[in-house]
């Protein structure tokens, strides 16, 4: 049986012919365009038109890239002031609140069945503060998997810790020795779960802060290079114009050069000032804050271990047979000494140095009183040791409170320094993206007008 005729073959041939014709037409059109450009480049008006177009595009590109790069730096500087540094500070406050709550729980336990009202209030305030800041951190740490994981851990473990402390209090009020075991278990949960998670959260948020610093401080190389090329092109065009016409000024080109110069100077000076202020906020604000927060944490952990030494009564030992909490106290006090020394070096004015110096003096007195309290306890006078640790006057607790207050004053001062310097750095970039875009458009218009004036002379 014969195959049916292929009725689509003529249509296919016609389609292929149309496509070939279109390609041929496109090729001819592009060839004609290139030929027209070559012909225009052989005449002075054509060359002027090409030069004017290139210069205008360079100026517009300069303005656009400047607006883009500076917007990026400005957003990073705003994040430093409004997002990453506050989150880092909140993470430090979470750690501090948890450590202080652990200290208050141990102090209240040592006071006996009738826990002092101010100690209970301090514990409740610390737990409420940590819970509130965790909610805030969860809402603001978008995009950070590490932060989200640590916040989840803290939210899970904090109620368990609080429950253990309440069990310790209930047993302590009834005079049951098992209350001490509950408190030690609560401290273990704080030391092995809560505080490490809070530390990782603080490190993650501080890392984001330093990333924002680096992004804000990166020099806008592309914008600077385009600015120099655009200015070089404008100067070359005006020199060419002068050599060919003996006319010194072309008002349009002169205006374009002035506008481009303003943008370039604004870019260089504005970013340099912003970088300087941000560097100041980092060196004399954030770095000091980090060391002071670490010092405060060390003092809190030292105080908690000092209290737990009396709570445990030698029941918890290191592998070497020494009292675990006394060993931890010694380690944290050594850390506190190092961090206060670093904070003193970083402080750049009397308002920053004075509270740090006071903290050092109070820490030294704390060490002396602690040594005396340990001798009293080791001699068998447990009640006397309790008085030396917990009394409102002449105790190690009094020294701890003074160290904490001095560090709080130093942190408040460095926070103000950070906020002032970082806000100044962000302010130095204000208006530059919009200003660069507007001036670039004006410069391109000026270049166009200047070239048009020269073209008009050939008509």
Q: Which two tokens stand for residue 52?
A: 């004017």
Q: What percent of the chain is modeled with pLDDT above 70?
A: 88
Q: Is residue 177 over pLDDT 80?
A: yes
Q: What are phi and psi of 380, to 5 degrees?
A: 100, 0
318 vs 333: CA distance, rounded Å: 18
User: Which pLDDT value is given to residue 7?
Assistant: 46
DSSP state of 249: -
Residue 371: how many CB atoms within 10 A of its CB?
11
281-322 pLDDT per residue, tens: 888 888 999 999 999 989 988 988 888 888 877 777 778 778
Q: Which residue has the higher pLDDT, 129 or 454?
A: 129
366 vs 394: CA distance, rounded Å: 10
Confidence class of residue 264 from pLDDT cuts 50, 70 and 90?
Answer: very high
Of 99-103, 162-166, 204-208, 308-312, give the lowest mean pLDDT range: 308-312
Token look-up 């273990």 returns: 188
Tell if the pTM clears 0.85, that is, is over it: no
Mean pLDDT over all residues of the chain? 86
438 vs 432: CA distance, rounded Å: 10
Q: Is residue 20 over pLDDT 60?
A: no
Are 161 and 186 within 8 A, CB to CB?
Answer: yes
326-347 pLDDT per residue, tens: 899 999 999 999 999 999 999 9
Token look-up 């041939």 returns: 13
User: Which pLDDT value is given to residue 2?
Assistant: 47
């Amino acid at each position: 049986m014969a195959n049916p005729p292929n009725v689509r073959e003529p249509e296919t041939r016609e389609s292929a012919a149309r496509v070939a014709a279109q390609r041929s037409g496109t090729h001819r059109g592009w060839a004609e365009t290139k030929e027209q450009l070559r012909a225009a480049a052989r005449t002075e008006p054509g060359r002027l038109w090409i030069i004017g177009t290139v210069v205008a595009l360079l100026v517009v590109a300069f303005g656009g890239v400047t607006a883009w790069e500076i917007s990026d730096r400005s957003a990073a500087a705003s994040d430093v002031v409004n997002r990453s540094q506050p989150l880092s500070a909140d993470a430090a406050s979470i750690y501090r609140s948890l450590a202080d709550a652990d200290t208050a729980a141990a102090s209240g336990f040592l006071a006996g069945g009738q826990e002092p009202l101010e100690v209970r209030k301090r514990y409740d305030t610390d737990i409420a503060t940590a819970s509130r800041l965790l909610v805030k951190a969860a809402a603001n740490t978008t995009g950070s998997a590490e932060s989200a994981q640590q916040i989840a851990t803290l939210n899970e473990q904090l109620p368990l810790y609080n429950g253990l402390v309440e069990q310790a209090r209930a047993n302590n009020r009834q005079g049951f020795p098992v209350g001490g075991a509950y408190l030690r278990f609560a401290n273990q949960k704080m030391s092995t779960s809560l505080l490490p998670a809070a530390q990782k959260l603080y490190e993650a948020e501080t890392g984001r802060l330093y990333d924002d610093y680096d992004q804000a401080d990166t020099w806008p190389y592309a914008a600077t290079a385009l600015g120099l090329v655009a200015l070089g092109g404008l100067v070359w065009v005006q020199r060419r114009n002068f050599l060919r016409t003996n006319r010194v000024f072309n008002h349009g080109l002169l205006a374009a050069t002035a506008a481009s110069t303003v943008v370039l100077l604004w870019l260089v000076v504005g970013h340099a000032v912003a970088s300087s202020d941000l560097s100041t906020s980092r060196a004399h604000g954030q770095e000091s804050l980090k060391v002071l927060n670490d010092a405060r944490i060390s003092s809190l952990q030292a105080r908690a271990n000092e209290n737990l030494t009396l709570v445990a009564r030698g029941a918890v030992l290191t592998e070497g047979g020494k009292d675990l909490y006394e060993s931890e106290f010694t380690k944290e006090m050594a850390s506190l000494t190092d961090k206060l020394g670093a904070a003193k070096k970083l402080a750049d004015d009397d308002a920053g140095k004075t509270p740090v110096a006071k903290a050092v003096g109070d820490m030294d007195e704390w060490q002396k009183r602690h040594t005396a309290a340990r001798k009293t306890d080791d001699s068998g006078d447990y009640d006397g040791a309790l008085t030396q640790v917990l009394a409102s006057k002449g105790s190690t607790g009094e020294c701890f409170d003074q160290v904490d207050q001095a560090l709080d004053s130093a942190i408040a001062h460095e926070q103000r320094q950070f906020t002032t310097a970082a806000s100044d750095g962000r302010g130095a970039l204000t208006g530059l993206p919009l200003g660069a875009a507007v001036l670039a458009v004006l410069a391109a218009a000026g270049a166009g007008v200047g070239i048009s004036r020269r073209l008009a002379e050939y008509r």
